[in-house]
Amino acid sequence: MRYVVGTAIVGLLVGLALRYVGGHHVVGWAMVGTMVVLPLAGVLITVDDDLPGGFSNPDGSAPGPWRDWENWADLAARAAITGIGFSIDRNVITVGGAIFLLVGIAGMIASVKVQRRINAKTALLMANNSLQRP
């Protein structure tokens, strides 16, 4: 969860800095860049490491993270969180801004739930791996 919060804060600060120097409607797009585009690019760049024989999967026994629905749900929740940035761009007190803000809040709630599921799944896998070792 801390990574989601960290990337949200970085995207928000970058967007506010760009807005301060003269950009309009850039906070939401800066958040999209840091919360959606960068993680997706990271998966695409390192996809070969997760394939059988790759650095992270030398014996080919572990499926790649892109195969789990939780990772795609996490990416969708991150995309929804960017609604907070778009609400700042649209002015929160307008109807459009309020809708974006509600989408962002829903994204935060969804992200917490997905991250809890991912953490539980990771803990279970680690426990199973430690039981299998002699």
User: Where would I find the H helices in 1-134?
Assistant: 2-20, 27-32, 38-45, 47-50, 69-81, 83-90, 95-132
Max avg pLDDT among 53-62, 64-73, 89-98, 113-122: 89-98
Distance of alpha carbon 26 from alpha carbon 132, whole angstroms: 50
pLDDT in tens, 18-77: 888 887 778 989 999 999 999 889 888 877 777 777 777 777 777 777 778 888 888 888
What is the number of domains present in the chain? 1
Tokens of residue 58, six digits: 């030398």
pLDDT at 49: 75
What range does the domain containing 40 cover? 2-132
